[in-house]
Amino acid sequence: MKIAYLDCFAGFSGDRMLGALVHAGVDAGLFRETIAALGVDGHLKTEHVNLSGMSATKVHVLLSGDRIDHTHLQGNHHSHEHTNTLTHGHSPVHSHDSHNAIHTHERSLREIEDLISRAAIDADARALALHAFHILGEAEAKILNIPVDEIHFHEVGAISALVEIVCSAVGCISLRVDRWVCSALNVGGGTVPCAHGIFPVPIPVTAELLKNCPVYSSGAQGELVTPAGAAILRALRVEFGAMPPMVPENLGYGAGIRDLPGFADVVRITLGTAVEAEQLNTRDVVTVIETALDDLPPQVVGYVMDQLLANGALDVMVTPVQMKKSRPGHLLTVLCMPDKANALCDLLLRETTTLGVRMREEKRKCLQRTFAKVITPWGEVRIKLGYLCGEVANCSPEFEDCRRIAELHKVPLKTVMQEAMRLYSEKCLSVAD
C-alpha cells in the first residue's frame, strides 16, 4: 500500500501543495499541461528557494501581468494569496497583490465546474477537483446563508483557486497513493481582511471547512491554512493522525511565502510504502469486532465486507448462524489494529441493520513476513514468505499478482500459481547448490 503523509506544521495551501508535489518528483510540466487543458489565463513559475536554511520548491500561481514578489520570501508578514475568492451579488472584492483594479467579472460555481468537466485531464483528477470546488462552494454558501448555486468567484480569485485545486488534484492522482494521512493543522493567528470584513484566523469559510479536523495555532501570525488548501484536504479525505508505519521512499518540501527565524514555512510530503503490522515486531494485539445479523440482505453483506477491508480491516469473516426465533443469520467478524476499531465500528453501525457491536482485544502470534520475486513467462510474481525462528515455514504466490497476470494474458489462474511456485522452488534449489 502506498502512503502519502502531509506534515502541516506551517499550515497548508494550494501553492505549497504544488511545490511539495514538484519537490517529491511530480513533473511540473504536468501542471502546465493541466492549465493549458483548462484554457485559463494563468501560468506557473517554479523555483528553488531556501527557507530557514531548508531547501524547498516554490510554485507561483501567476496571471497575466503578474510578477514574482520576492520580498515575500524575506520576512514580510503577508497572508497567503487568494483568500477572498468568493462573493455574492454585486460587491466583488479580492486580495491578489498584483492587481490594484477591482474586477467586476465573476464566475459562478457552475461555470467553474463546467470548465473542469470539459478539460482533457485524468478522469480521477477531474472528479477530485470537482469535489473540492463543490466542498468550497457549499462552505461559503453556508457562511452567506444562500443557495450554493448563487456562489460566485471573482475572476482573479477564481483562476488562482482553479489552478491550485485542479493542478493539485492532477498531481495527487498521478502519485497513485492508496492512503492520505495528515498531521494536525497549524492555522496561524491574528486577523486578516476578507470579504466579510476583518476576521480572526481562520477566516469563516476556512473554519467551516476545518470542522472535525485537528487544528492549533502556533508560530507565525497570519493565515496559514487557506480555503483552497482546506478544500483540497477535504476532497482527498485525508486521515488525521501521526505518521503511520511506513518505509519512506521520497520527500518533498513546498514553500510558502515567509522566511522567519525559527519558522520553516513549508509543507512536507512523505511518500512511502506501508509497513505491515507483522513487520513491526511491536505488540501483537488485534481488535476483534463482531455483530450478528438476521435481517441484512446477502448482497449488502458482501458490500459491507468490501467496505471494511477498504477502510483498514485486516480480515473479515462471515459465519452462518442460527439466531433467535430459529432465524438463519450471519455472524460478521472483523479483525483490525486497535487504532482502526472505532472507525470500523461506526462503519458497521452505519451500513448494517445491527443495533450494536461487540469488541475485544486478543493476542496473536505471527510469522515474520517478507517477499521474494520470480519472473514467469507472463510477468513478475511476488512470493509471500513466512519465517519462524529464521526459517521459511510457509510460502505462497501473491494472489493479486497471479490474478492480474491470468486476466491480462488469458491464462488459467492455477497455471500461473503453479508456475510461480515451480520457479521459486528451482530458485531455492539453485541457491542451496
Quickly state the pLDDT bin for 119 (edges 50, 70, 90).
very high
* pLDDT greater than 50 at residue 408: yes
Closest CA to 361 of 286, 281, 277: 286
Model pLDDT, residue 363: 86
- The structure's pTM equals 0.60
- Structure confidence at residue 3 (pLDDT): 94
pLDDT of residue 79: 38
Q: Which H/E stretch holds residue 387?
A: strand 379-388
Grid coordinates given for 421: 511456485
Lowest mean pLDDT among 2-11, 24-33, 64-73, 417-426: 64-73
Taking only the tens place, the pLDDT of each residue in 193-243 is 876 678 899 999 999 999 999 999 987 788 999 999 999 999 999 999 989
Q: Which residue has the cell 514467469?
A: 376
Provide the residue ranges of all domains of the chain, joining segments of one domain with +: 2-274, 285-363, 368-432
Instruction: For 107-165, give the DSSP string.
Output: EEHHHHHHHHHHS-S-HHHHHHHHHHHHHHHHHHHHHHTS-GGG-EEEHHHHHHHHHHH
Q: Answer for the pair 265, 220: CB distance below 8 angstroms, yes or no.
A: yes
User: What three-state secondary structure class fits 319?
Assistant: strand
Statement: residue 307 has pLDDT above 50: yes
Q: Is residue 357 pLDDT above 90, yes or no?
A: yes
347: enclosing H helix or E strand: helix 341-351
Residue 156, pLDDT score: 47
Label residue 429 by pLDDT band (50, 70, 90): confident
Tell me the C-alpha distance between 160 and 16, whole Å.
Answer: 13
pLDDT tens-digit map of 164-186: 999 999 999 999 999 999 999 99
User: 198 - beta bridge partners?
Assistant: 193
DSSP H or E stretch at residue 399: helix 399-409
* Residue keyed to cell 448482497: 299
pLDDT of residue 75: 37
C-alpha cell at 343: 472507525
Q: What is the pLDDT of residue 66?
A: 59
pLDDT digit string, tens, across residues 369-402: 788 889 999 999 999 988 877 788 889 999 999 9
**Residue 281 scores a pLDDT above 60:** no
Cell digits of residue 336: 483490525
* Cell numbers linked to 96: 491578489
Residue-wise pLDDT for 41-97, tens only, equals: 888 899 999 877 778 999 998 876 555 555 444 433 333 444 344 443 333 333 333
- Residue range 368-432, CATH number: 3.10.20
Neighbours of 113 (CB within 10 A): 15
pLDDT for residue 157: 57
Element (H, E) at 425: helix 413-432
Q: How far apart are CA 120 and CA 277, in angstroms?
A: 41
| Mean pLDDT in residue range 106-123 | 89
Q: What percent of the chain clears pLDDT 70, i.e. is strictly above it?
A: 85
Euclidean distance between CA atoms 168 and 261, whole angstroms:
29
Average pLDDT in the chain = 84
Q: Determine the pLDDT at residue 68.
A: 57
Q: Which CATH class is domain 285-363?
A: alpha beta
Distances in Å between the Cα of 337 and the Cα atoms of 50, 67, 364, 386 are 40, 51, 11, 20
Q: What is the pLDDT of residue 199?
A: 86
- Per-residue pLDDT, 132: 95
